[in-house]
């Protein structure tokens, strides 16, 4: 049986942003698995119009839809935020996030810098965390190692990464991901610290 305090407690919204290739997806997956006890951390799945990559699963990594479908959902106000990044649309399903928070579950949202700013304006107590790569050179090496984008696409992503890194100071926390295990420990500590704070 849940106590009255537990029933009344609203969940917290954690937003993680990082340049493409910073290890954000891996860290978020490990974070969800590592914090799956009594007080769950639930992953919010974004909707996107970009093509599915090798190894990704529909409904787990993203909801992959057409541009026409996305624009229809946007018109109906179904997104908490949306953005166009490198020619593709990305959006956060509004209803899912609100439902989880109102049920007392903490939500982990992995979105870009544009989206993080939009949500922070609507959800002022959202906690923003930026994942920083060791260097732009290391980022380029990781992107090339993925073999999922053309050299032109990688060049565009690196230019965007520099702009995003310049905005890291707008976040509540910045975590350097020079080693996955160390970055994961830091992220867990941030979430545990924020959970102990009273509303």
The total number of residues shown for the chain amounts to 199
Query: What domains can be seen in the chain, in order of their start residue?
Result: 4-196 (3.40.50.300)
What angle is formed at CA 117 by the lines to CA 113 and CA 123, rounded to 5 degrees?
Answer: 135
Q: Whose CA is closest to 128, among 137, 138, 116, 140?
A: 116
Share of the chain above pLDDT 70, in %: 93
Tell me how far apart the alpha carbons of residues 41 and 33 are, in angstroms, rounded to a whole number. 9
Instruction: Report pLDDT for 8.
Output: 55
Tell me how far apart the alpha carbons of residues 99 and 177 are, in angstroms, rounded to a whole number. 31
Strand partners, 93: 79
pLDDT tens for each residue of 111-131: 888 889 989 988 889 999 999
pLDDT tens for each residue of 36-71: 655 678 989 889 999 998 888 898 889 999 999 999
- Note whether 128 and 12 are within 8 A (CB): no
Averaged confidence pLDDT in the chain? 87
Find the radius of gyration of the CA atoms of the chain: 17
Q: Whose CA is closest to 92, among 128, 116, 67, 60?
A: 116
pLDDT tens for each residue of 80-104: 999 888 899 999 999 989 999 998 8
Least confident of 20-29, 63-72, 184-193: 20-29
Instruction: Report pLDDT for 1.
Output: 45
Give me the mean pLDDT over the 130-142 stretch: 85
Instruction: Report pLDDT for 4.
Output: 41
Instruction: Report pLDDT for 37.
Output: 55
């Amino acid at each position: 049986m849940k106590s009255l305090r537990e029933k009344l407690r609203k969940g917290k919204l954690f937003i993680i942003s990082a340049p493409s290739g910073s290890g954000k997806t891996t860290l978020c997956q490990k974070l969800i698995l590592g914090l799956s006890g009594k007080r769950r951390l639930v992953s919010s799945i974004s909707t996107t119009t970009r093509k599915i990559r090798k190894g990704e699963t529909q409904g787990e990594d993203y909801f992959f839809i057409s541009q026409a479908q996305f624009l229809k959902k946007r018109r109906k106000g179904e997104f908490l935020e949306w953005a166009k990044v490198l020619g593709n649309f990305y959006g956060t399903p509004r209803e899912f996030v609100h439902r989880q928070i109102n049920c007392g579950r903490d939500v982990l949202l992995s979105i870009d810098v544009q989206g993080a700013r939009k949500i922070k304006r609507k959800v002022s107590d959202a906690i923003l965390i930026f994942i920083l790569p060791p260097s732009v050179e290391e980022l380029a090496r990781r992107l090339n190692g993925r073999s999922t984008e053309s050299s032109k696409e990688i060049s565009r992503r690196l230019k965007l990464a520099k702009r995003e890194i310049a905005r890291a100071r707008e976040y509540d926390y910045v975590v350097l991901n020079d080693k996955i295990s160390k970055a994961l420990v830091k992220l867990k500590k941030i979430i545990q610290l924020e959970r102990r704070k009273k509303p």
